[in-house]
Structure 1
Amino acid sequence: MTMPETQHAQAAEPPHRPGIVQACLLVLGVVPFMAGLLSLYSVLGVGLPLFGFVFLLYWAGILRQEMAQFLPSVIGGAGGIILGWTLVTLPHVHPQLGVVAAGLVLAAILFCFMRGHLPWLCNNAMMLFLIVATIPELDVSRRIATMLLSLALGAGYMGAVACLILWIAARRKSGAA
């Protein structure tokens, strides 16, 4: 299996390790950040915050908030949830034809993923969210809307915070110049 060029290049980069003071400041920033996100889930009554947290781990943690990967991560994540729903639901709708159709859809998605086609959809985010969405206890066949809403809320929150951080950094940089 070959990785698309951008994924291969990212895998080769050594991870950035913040200094001790920077790490302490980051830890202190995570507390109000997470409190704000959990409060948002609670106030809006959105369940399964797990899907927002998985997005945070993937895009903010693994991809290090690479803005060019934000939309592909959201689209791939939503695609993974929808694919999981499709794979679980189709066989129940029509046992024989549904199994064949689900297998064909999965084969097409895996082909695109392995070949690097449709990278805004068929990407690591899609595969990650497919795996999580199909955990039997989460019952994707009944909770797909909640899963998608949870992903959207986590991604929207993280995206807004990332944009705010970029805006502040740009203002500081233009003020220093």
Structure 2
Amino acid sequence: MSQQQDTAHKDARTNDHVGRASVGKGLFTLITAVVVVGSFIALNYALAIADMWVGFLFALYWGGLERSNFKKLPNCIVGAAVGLTAAYFLHALPLAFGAAALAPCIAGVIVLVFFQIMGWFVVAINMTTMLFLTVATIPSIQASSQYPQLMISMALGALYFSIVVWIANQISRRLANTTRLTSSTH
């Protein structure tokens, strides 16, 4: 492993690459996160969506791993939908058709994994697909969740968190422009 790779690996483990925020900025960020998350929970309750974890999982992947990159948002949405759909079929088909459905289900997963390995059809088959497929096939989730509710929760999470990030980006740009204008006049 090169020194650059080793440093990147260490940074990924320890968050050393993240600048240290002041206590004030840290508290502001914490309060903002509490408001955003609390609002999302309240919205889920208001809409009677019990499986809000799906929206949070989407936010974790798109926000954390994809860094809220709007160019990657469509792939994340489609990938999550494909992963949830594949997980649904892995559960529903054997229930409906018995053991005869296992072979086509396993073949479908093998095709998804092969497409992922090859980098084919990345708008629909990507790491988001694999994450949602993996989580949504957990037996306790399959036993207690309904597919339409999972899709609604994912769509709500994608919509809500993308709007929140868009608004935060707009505010950040305006503050940066104001700061730049103020500092250039002095």
Normalised by the length of structure 1, the TM-score is 0.84
Contact 1:71 1:120 in 2 (8 A): yes
Total equivalences in the alignment: 167
Contact 1:84 1:140 in 2 (8 A): no
Q: Paired residue for 1:5?
A: none
Contact 1:80 1:125 in 2 (8 A): yes
In structure 1, C-alpha distance between the alignment counterparts of 2:105 and 2:153, rounded to whole Å: 25
For 1:74, the aligned partner's letter is I
Q: Paired residue for 1:8?
A: none
In structure 2, runs of 5+ residues without a counterpart are: 1-7, 182-186
In structure 2, C-alpha distance between the alignment counterparts of 1:68 and 1:145, rounded to whole Å: 26
Higher mean C-alpha displacement, 52-61 vs 22-31: 22-31
Q: Paired residue for 2:39?
A: 36
Measured on the aligned residues, the alpha-carbon RMSD in Å equals 2.2
In structure 1, runs of 5+ residues without a counterpart are: 1-10
Contact 1:77 1:129 in 2 (8 A): yes
Percent identity among equivalent residues? 25
Q: Secondary structure at the match of 2:154?
A: helix
Q: Paired residue for 2:107?
A: 104
In structure 2, C-alpha distance between the alignment counterparts of 1:29 and 1:69, rounded to whole Å: 24
**Shift in CA distance, 161/90, structure 1 to aligned 2, threshold 3 Å:** same
Q: Paired residue for 1:17?
A: 18
Task: Give the CA deviation at 1:171.
Answer: 3.3
Task: Give the CA deviation at 1:36.
Answer: 0.7
In structure 1, C-alpha distance between the alignment counterparts of 2:53 and 2:142, rounded to whole Å: 13
Q: Paired residue for 1:91?
A: 94
Normalised by the length of structure 2, the TM-score is 0.80
